[in-house]
Amino acid sequence: MNKIKKTREVYAQHINNQKRGYEITAKIIGHIIKRMQQDCRISGDVQVTGRIKSFKSAYENSEKKKVDDCFGIRIVASDEDLTKIRQQLEKILVVTQTKDHRKKKDTRYNGIHQMAHIQKRHAESSGICFEQFPLVEIQYWSREIQRLCLNGDLSYANYKRGDYRDFVEELEERGNNALGELPTYYEIIGNKIHKLSAKDTLFKLYPEIYSMKYIGKHNIVKPEER
């Protein structure tokens, strides 16, 4: 137990050290996409969100692989717009790895993931040292992927059914206290970012939970009902 506690403290410190650099990166990306929309280079139908991985998820993955995707940004748009956005962002990012799931034949998931960090020259004007800018996993999703992953066959509840079941049990047992194990989510609009509350994050990650009877029991209300 002490080992887990110490690991949690180290992870929290790592997140705190790079959180500001991540948020600046998110604002830069959001600003670039907004400018592209204003210049009519892409449509207005683009959604940008951010995510900081929870300790629980990072700790469980640490046994299987290197945890280098603590910070994430997801861009959802048409295939044509995604190509233009990716080409533009690669001008201000250093991409260290690209996973193109479109090349896999055994999955319906065909998103593109890139591990990248902001170029040093774009970080210098921020007022914080370059080492505080983390490696960020950028996911490029089409609208079809979004549909499949949020409400379809590839939803988190289906894709990681065991994790979903465990969290439901945790919520039943601990109520609101279980929300502390969720990741942190952001909405990114232009150069403005908004961190979601734990309850809003719950419904974003597990939309299936809407209909479950214990929601009212623990005073967890759907966002649109507030």
- Decide if 201 contacts 186 (C-beta within 8 A): no
pLDDT at 204: 76
DSSP letter for 209, please.
Answer: G
Residue 107 has pLDDT above 80, yes or no: no
Residue ranges and CATH numbers for the domains of the chain are 2-225 (3.30.460.10)
pLDDT at 223: 47
DSSP letter for 190, please.
Answer: T
Write out the two tokens for 171. 């919520």
Q: What is the mean pLDDT of residues 62-67?
A: 55
**pLDDT top residue among 212 and 129:** 129
pLDDT digits (tens, 9 = 90+) for 111-145: 899 999 999 988 888 888 999 999 999 999 999 88
Q: Of 38-42, 89-93, 214-218, which gets the smallest average pLDDT?
A: 214-218
Helix axis angle for 2-38 and 79-89, nearest 10°, is 110
Query: For a pLDDT cut of 90, what percent of the chain falls above it?
Result: 46
pLDDT at 94: 96
Q: Of 148-152, 183-187, 208-212, which gets the smallest average pLDDT?
A: 208-212
pLDDT interval class at 151 (50, 70, 90)? low
pLDDT interval class at 214 (50, 70, 90)? very low
